[in-house]
Amino acid sequence: MGMGHRSNLKNAAIALIAPLPSILFYLYFLNDPLMWKSWCYHHPLLLANLLFFFNIDILFWLTGFLLSSHWMIDLYWTVIPVLLAHYYSTHPLNAQFNEWRSRVVIFLTWIWSVRLTHNYFRRENWEWGAREDWRFTDMRHQYGKHWWWVSFFAVYLSQQVFLIGVCLPLYVVHSVDKPWSIWDSVATAVCISGIIVAYFADTQLHNFVSKNNKLKEAGSAMVPNLDKGLWKYSRHPNYFGEQLWWWGLAIFAWKLGSPWTFIGALINSMCLGYVTILVEDRMLKQDYRRAAYMQYQKTTSVWIPWFKSSPKGEKDKTT
């Protein structure tokens, strides 16, 4: 058995064991009537945050520190919403909610998670923990010897704000009992549209990257830019699809009397806006694609798919 295979198995074991403290504690809570008289029963959001803080923020951070790689949080971004959906649906305080809406939302969350998890492993060549997010690697170089403590806030505590915030509609769905309405159908359609758009965008990106890797291995010139399929109409259709998913989820909560939950989707969009800037700066630093990407920026919508426009300052040759 090679070193790479052993490392892959080790990382897989770590990833599967990592969430067990929270899962075991919650199962104990559900099966112990005395625990139902404690604060754990009366404050489900507080309990969710504390489990996240101790299990993800602290335990994952220590694990990442020991492994010198914070790869695991990237994988669990796709899993935590599913765990939260089941947590909110089974918490004994949330006994009154619409069963049909709950089933639809949990099913959609599973579909979203499976799609994103599949994309993660496909991108990582089906390996566990092969590398951490390139943004974390850049920050590791930026902060140097201070990265060990900066990473706790930049990688983990910030993720708690994002994930708990963006998943607030899951809490509302399982704490309000109102009949299914036309807006639930709209929310379902938006969520499904987001999942479909993100799937095709990520698949087209994966095929493009794979083709370029083969060209590089063969010593041939690589294609500088992906501008086919959904990428012909948007520079980041995968981000657009991801945002559709979270805004669709927020619509469920909005019509249940909790419009404040849109703050989670808004924070996520702001985060993706910042990531978009980082990604495009990275593209422009690559000599072989700089000119093509600058032209692409001038003619193609950033997120929302739209028809191409003429570069600014360029006269219409037909006039």
Instruction: With a cut of 60, say whether residue 319 has pLDDT above it.
Output: no
Instruction: With a cut of 80, say whether residue 156 has pLDDT above it.
Output: yes
Region 126-151: mean pLDDT is: 94
Per residue, what are the HEC states of 154-177?
Answer: HHHHHHHHHHHHHCHHHHHHCCCC
**Whole-angstrom Cα distance, residue 205 to residue 91?**
39
pLDDT at 305: 95
Which one-letter amino acid corresponds to residue 89?
Answer: S
Nearest 5°: CA angle at 257, between 253 and 259?
Answer: 60
Check if the beta carbon of residue 76 is closer than 8 Å to that of residue 156. Answer: no
pLDDT digits (tens, 9 = 90+) for 191-200: 999 999 999 9
pLDDT, averaged across the chain: 93
pTM, two decimal places: 0.93
pLDDT at 5: 83
- Tell me the Ramachandran region of residue 289: left when phi exceeds 0, alpha when psi lies from -120 to 50, beta otherwise: alpha
Check if the beta carbon of residue 246 is closer than 8 Å to that of residue 282. Answer: no
Give the ranges where the chain is alpha helix by DSSP (H).
3-17, 20-30, 39-42, 44-51, 61-67, 72-76, 80-90, 99-123, 134-143, 147-151, 158-166, 168-173, 182-217, 237-254, 262-284, 290-299
Region 104-121: mean pLDDT is: 97
Instruction: With a cut of 50, say whether residue 316 has pLDDT above it.
Output: no
Check if the beta carbon of residue 4 is closer than 8 Å to that of residue 124. Answer: no
pLDDT at 94: 82
pLDDT digits (tens, 9 = 90+) for 32-42: 877 777 888 89
Region 156-181: mean pLDDT is: 96
Q: Which of 294, 33, 78, 104 is nearest to 202 (CA)?
A: 78
pLDDT at 203: 98
For residue 70, CA distances in Å to 19, 55, 65, 263, 318 come to 15, 14, 7, 27, 54
DSSP label at residue 240: H
Q: How confident is the model at residue 254 (pLDDT cuts 50, 70, 90)?
A: very high
Which is more confidently placed, 1 or 79? 79
pLDDT digits (tens, 9 = 90+) for 198-232: 999 999 999 999 999 999 999 999 999 999 999 99
pLDDT at 317: 43
For the chain, give the percent of residues with pLDDT over 70.
97
pLDDT at 313: 52
pLDDT at 1: 58
Q: How confident is the model at residue 315 (pLDDT cuts 50, 70, 90)?
A: very low
pLDDT at 18: 95
